[in-house]
Amino acid sequence: MNDDQCTAFLQWALPRIGMRWPGFRRVRRQVCRRIRDRMAELGVPGVEAYREHLATDPEEWGRLAILCRVTISRFFRDRGVFEFLGGQVLPGLARGRGTVRAWSAGCASGEEPYSLVILWRQEPQARFPKTRLEVLATDVDPAVLRRARQGLYPAGALRDLEPQEVEKAFEPVGEEYRLRDELQGTVSFQEQDLRREAPEGAFHLILCRNLAFTYFAEEEQRRILSVLLQHLEVGGALVLGSHERIPDGPWPLEPWSASEPVFRRL
């Protein structure tokens, strides 16, 4: 299966598993490699034979959906969003509250929720010593959650951090970096499929970045957004990925920033 055949295959297959091709354009090589490996494992000679296999074995669709999961992440990904949260959003959420509850949906290996904790502990959040940040991080993939709990990262995952931030939050272990003990245990990780379930309760801050609003089909995006809104307190913040947009509405949301994908729940 060459690259063009793989693209044609993905354009055909993705809508059948509730996903959209444009989201995969940039990551197609990685996904195509996995599909080729799967075809080799099955011993199917080409893409037509793999399509036939999908037709005769419906469980293979679930397999394919797993091959299409993208788990790329890094600390402080899209730094501007975190700076906006730190400067404009978190202080307001913290004011007068004993606990700020945050949910990172599709948290990968913990880079996003731990970034939030690192941010919270930086100035000026330290101005709110009476407020606790409680972070729940969910992902469908048990392997990434295991890595998140270990808190061990390659240098590439830290490339958007300043050297002093790395030094404060991590200790080097060989070629890798381990999140310091005082930060481990600050996030609760839970295995959860966003398409089927959501955590209990309401949150003041929800991050759902580079998952539903990139890879999921438009209809599915709308369904997920209404679930997220049910779990977001009025006045709370919803954060998307920097290349993502809110599906066509109306929705009880207003932009919080002119430049960052942060929305206030109305």
Ligand X SMILES: C[S@@+](CC[C@H](N)C(=O)[O-])C[C@H]1O[C@@H](n2cnc3c(N)ncnc32)[C@H](O)[C@@H]1O
**Binding residues for ligand X (CB under 6 A):** 69-73, 77, 106, 108, 111-112, 139-141, 144, 193-195, 209-211, 241
53 vs 110: CA distance, rounded Å:
35
Residues whose CB falls within 8 Å of the CB of residue 114, separated by 6 or more in sequence, listed in order: 75, 148, 151, 169, 179, 183, 186, 187
Smallest distance from ligand X to CB 200, Å: 16
Residues whose CB falls within 8 Å of the CB of residue 189, separated by 6 or more in sequence, listed in order: 107, 110, 113, 137, 138, 139, 145, 148, 149
Q: Is 207 strand, coil or helix? A: strand
| Pairing verdict, β 232-239 and 262-265 | antiparallel
Smallest distance from ligand X to CB 197, Å: 9
Smallest distance from ligand X to CB 2, Å: 26
Q: Is 89:261 a contact under the CB 8 Å cutoff?
A: no
Smallest distance from ligand X to CB 108, Å: 4
CB closer to ligand X, 97 vs 149: 149
Smallest distance from ligand X to CB 101, Å: 18
DSSP calls for 31-62: HHHHHHHHHHHHT--SHHHHHHHHHH-THHHH
